[in-house]
Amino acid sequence: MSSVDGESRQMRRGQQGFITTMCSEETFRDQYAVLEVIGRGSFAQVILAVHHLTGILVVLKVSYKVTGIFETIETEVELMKRVQHCNVVQLFQVMETMDYVYLVMEAALGGQILWHIPRDRSLEEQEACRAFRQVVCALHYCHEQGVVHRDLKVENILLDKAGNVKLCEFGLGSRFKAGQKLSRACGTPEYCAPELYNGEEYDGPSVDAWSLGVTLFYMLAGRLPFDGKTVPELAEKILDASYEMPAHVSAEAQSLIRQLLTVDPAERATLPQILEHPWLGQEQEHSPGHSRQPLPNLPNPTVLGMMFELGFNIKEVSVSISQKTFDHGMATYLLLQCLLTPGSGFKADV
């Protein structure tokens, strides 16, 4: 057996041990039942599960507490608590044990938008326009809440069963104030703006706008605009904004891509300008509202009645909601509220 095979087998044993240990924790087992693992990383697993009390499918991101990784998890939790938009994956609950952090989130069962883009081909422009406008609306909302994403890419854009966008993965995100410059260089190299390669302090929303340009190009071309065998080769192309526009892309879509993939961030299109671009105008009437139903301060009596029947202490639930603790009571409340919201896309399985 080769050393590579041995390492692979050892890694699989480690992943299986991770799941077995994680699923045996009482905090988790009492509330959720695992269906399948749908994603793996070095220090985290993404799991499709069922919430016992409501029968609703959820996604759990389970992260092992490792120095350096835990700080990223804390950032993701903080930012997801802050953003409530219909095109952002909703956070329902946060659980923390001695070894793990569990994020219970909305299940976007359509998967990554990447899966729907044929390689070296593209989405139909109308389909791409609809999805891209939802991404821009979600990101614009995040910026208005003082949150910059910094890792926008097709892998971090999910779809629900109705084909609506759900932006996810805020682990590299940051809080910011208008006019504030950020300094941490992070993100996926192929999506990073030129100023990140120059080692400059940068404007967070402008970096997100560049990544939007790369994302739109991918949607319409089925490939990335910039590539390279080495990071310096990739950086050279990005710094020169050197890419080949696909001939089949409409003139208006090409115009929008150029405005986003502008090297000078001061000249780069802003998100409000993007939303006013003629190419996106065709989808304006069909775009969702700015945000989902906000986190409640005054609980819905109908939902509270349902929770009383499930055995919850209503006073404790009300405190959880008012203090936004994201515990099991608040998670159950939010899941039941989603069921009662017309067109929410949530459906109980039992």
- How many whole angstroms separate alpha carbon 333 and alpha carbon 350? 17
User: Can you tell me the mean pLDDT for 173-177?
Assistant: 94
Cα–chain center distance at 193: 19
Parts of the chain belonging to CATH 3.30.200.20 = 3-106
- From residue 246, give the alpha-carbon distance in Å to each of 109, 120, 138, 225: 31, 10, 27, 10
pLDDT at 253 over 90: yes
- pLDDT reading at 14 higher than 70: no
Distance CA 336, CA 74 (A): 26
Q: Which residues contact 141 (CB under 8 A, 6 or more apart)?
A: 83, 85, 87, 88, 290, 291
Identify any residues that bridge with 50 across adjacent strands, giving them in sequence order. 33, 57
Considering the chain, what is the average pLDDT of its residues?
85
Tell me, what's the pLDDT at 13? Answer: 40
Q: Is 151 part of the annotated catalytic residue set?
A: yes
d(Cα 240, Cα 235) in Å, to the nearest integer? 9
Q: pLDDT-derived band of residue 30, with 50, 70 and 90 as boundaries? A: confident
State pTM to two decimals.
0.86
Q: CATH 1.10.510.10: which residues of the chain? A: 112-286
Residue among 5, 30, 151, 208 flagged as catalytic: 151
Which of 41-45, 215-219, 292-296 is modeled with the greatest confidence? 215-219
Residue 2: what pLDDT? 36
Place of tokens 């300094």: 183
Tell me: pLDDT of 173 over 90.
Answer: yes
Answer yes or no: is pLDDT of 318 > 50.
yes
Q: Looking at per-residue confidence, does 69 or 322 come out higher?
A: 322
The residues with which 182 forms a beta bridge, in sequence order, are 202
Spell out the CATH class of 3-106.
Answer: alpha beta
User: 203 pLDDT exceeds 60?
Assistant: yes
User: Residues 344-350: what's their mean pLDDT?
Assistant: 48
Taking CA atoms, 206 is separated from 146, 201, 266, in Å, by 13, 12, 8
**Residues paired with residue 94 on neighbouring β-strands, in sequence order:** 103
Q: Does domain 112-286 have CATH number 3.90.1720.10?
A: no
